[in-house]
Amino acid sequence: MAFVDVVSAFRCLRALVIGDVMLDTYLEGTATRLCQEGPVPVVTRRAEHRLPGGAANVAANVQSLGAEALLLGVVGCDSAASLLRTTLRRAQVSLDWLLADPSLETLHKVRILADGQYVVRFDEGDELQLGPVLLERLLTALEAAYACCDLVIVSDYRYGVVSDQVITLLAQLQARRPKVLLIDSKALGRFRSVPATVVTPNYLEARLCLAERLPVAAHAVQRGEPLSETTLRQLGEGLLSSLQCSAVVITLAEQGAFLLDRRGEAYHLPASALQCASEVGAGDSFAAALALALAAGASLIEAGVIASEAAALAVAQRWTASVRQQELLQRLGLRAALEEGHQAASSLAQEISYSLERQRLAALLEQERRAGRRIVFTNGIFDLLHAGHVHFLRQAKALGDVLIVAVNSDRSVRRLRGEGRPITTERDRLALVKALDMVDHALLFDEETPAALIRCLRPHVHVKGGDYRTEELPEAEAVRAVGGQVVILPLLPERSTSAVIERIRASTEACSPVRVAASGEGGDHE
């Protein structure tokens, strides 16, 4: 099956996700001094992010990938549970199957970061003790949800929701009416009686399942040392012999994943070469996409490729991430174009170039941010550079220490202004902007709005020219999400590229049949 067809079919699926739900909180700030009371940094809070974690993040990924998620888990009746429900509503995950018990404490992981670096993580909640009444409610809900779903994903962090009784019932349900079942557990050995479609342990979880001793070599994957195909095959075959699963997918961090089924077909799937913003939750994206792809009719290898691409999108994002179906479709479409040798491969190469450049710049800006410098961002077409552009950029630079200018690619200009534009190529426009003394960094971007670029670069100030209102800007939400502010600067009157083009056209029409194409209005610092 074509990758795009598989992912498009996610819309027809309903997935039951059962496991340990939790709330992930990120407190982000800056640290410029040590506390007088002890040798620890004083962190000034700048932003706070609350996201679904654990099994809740798997359900959020299922939903954002286009399918319908039935999330079966247990929470307390505390503030963390209330906040978790808010994040799930935002992710459009139904709360109908989420059970609450006032005697329990909701699982909550609080991560504190200073200037992008982890300082500490606080965990609230411990192994859940399910009383007989709550356990009976959970088993009843599992049986009811199983009857109306197309596939099942178990997300077991060993906090108590996936109890022995739940595993026994799941095995019985699978025996009576088999469905695609993916098991992601930190203790796979507990699922020996469950007829699963696939299990997805990481390397160490796989070895622990086989009760092997862990010599130094077992940590090779964490150090980036390559693991031999022989070692991985032996480990996979051991899992297949000790479990009732049809296939094994051993995840290997930056080394990708190793796939093996009962026919002996093996495949080592390489990881995408991407700079990771955060690995938290990438396994949840991988599991959700893998299970959905198998339920949509993909082969194990096809599903593994789709899951790997979903994980690559997740690790490129900050915080616990969910992957949108449209993002995955676009990424898989570009991959297919490259593999099939279509002309779109050149477009993919361009996309990769844009991505690498923004990742390189994001790393440089982290250093500037740690040094306490204020980062200012603006964007525009900058076709036929004129005095209005220079005046605007000088004003923008005065708002901070480092000025970043994003220049629209030729392709995005044509989408915005029509086939007659740009007059000057993207390479020349970028070179001219870079040559201005007030510009510290300039790069190309291909999207219709700079929202994705803003989320990546995280500027303190986003500057726009014209008579906009902040709420009218499509990128305003992205600016708020990174803790920045929008500043609107007035433009010099009668200083716009469109006005220059109109004057050129009027002049040439008076003396020659040659016409200079122009489209679009003035406005903004195009």
Q: How far apart are CA 230 and CA 42, in angstroms?
A: 50
- 151 and 103 co-located in one domain: yes
- 336 and 356 co-located in one domain: no
Q: Are 251 and 283 in contact (CB under 8 A)?
A: yes
Q: How far apart are CA 365 and CA 329, in angstroms?
A: 30
- Say if 518 falls within a structural domain: no
Task: Supply the pLDDT for residue 271.
Answer: 73
- 71 and 51 co-located in one domain: yes
The residues assigned a catalytic role are 284
Task: Supply the pLDDT for residue 123.
Answer: 87
Task: Supply the pLDDT for residue 36.
Answer: 83
Task: Supply the pLDDT for residue 522.
Answer: 35
CATH number of the domain enclosing 284: 3.40.1190.20
- Say if 122 falls within a structural domain: yes
- 331 and 368 co-located in one domain: no
- Say if 525 falls within a structural domain: no
- 269 and 389 co-located in one domain: no
* Plot region of 160 (φ>0 → left; ψ -120 to 50 → alpha; else → beta): left
Here the tokens at position 382 are 């900058």
Here the tokens at position 472 are 């009218």
- Say if 526 falls within a structural domain: no
- 331 and 235 co-located in one domain: yes
Q: Which of 292, 315, 342 is the last residue of a domain?
A: 342
Would you list the DSSP string of 250-266? EE-GGG-EEEEETT--E
- Say if 523 falls within a structural domain: no
- Say if 517 falls within a structural domain: no
Domain residues for the domain of 98 are 3-31+41-342
- 338 and 377 co-located in one domain: no
Number of domains present in the structure of the chain = 2
Task: Supply the pLDDT for residue 523.
Answer: 41
Q: Are 488 and 464 in contact (CB under 8 A)?
A: yes
- 333 and 355 co-located in one domain: no
CB under 8 Å to 159, separation ≥6 — which residues?
20, 22, 54, 107, 125, 126, 127, 128
In the block, which residue shows the tokens 């990128």?
475
- 226 and 93 co-located in one domain: yes
Residue ranges of the chain whose pLDDT lies below 70? 1, 212-226, 272-281, 318-320, 334-353, 467, 492-526
Would you list the DSSP string of 71-114? EEEEE-SSHHHHHHHHHHHHTT---TTEEE-TTS---EEEEEEE
Give 166-215 pLDDT, tens digit per residue.
Answer: 999 999 999 999 999 999 999 999 999 999 999 999 998 999 888 754 44
Q: How far apart are CA 319 and CA 281, in angstroms?
A: 8
Here the tokens at position 246 are 């049809």
CATH number of the domain enclosing 376: 3.40.50.620
- Grouping H, G, I as helix, E, B as strand and the rest as coil, residue 198 is strand
- 136 and 246 co-located in one domain: yes
Task: Supply the pLDDT for residue 524.
Answer: 47
Q: Are 398 and 350 in contact (CB under 8 A)?
A: no
- Say if 212 falls within a structural domain: yes
Q: Which of 301, 326, 342 is the last residue of a domain?
A: 342
DSSP alpha helix (H) spans, 316-405 = 325-339, 344-370, 387-397
Phi, psi of 463 (to 5 degrees): -105, 135
- Say if 49 falls within a structural domain: yes
Q: What is the reported pTM?
A: 0.64
- 479 and 331 co-located in one domain: no
Here the tokens at position 74 are 């247990």
Q: Which of 342, 368, 401 is the last residue of a domain?
A: 342
C-alpha 76 chain-centroid distance: 28
- 305 and 364 co-located in one domain: no
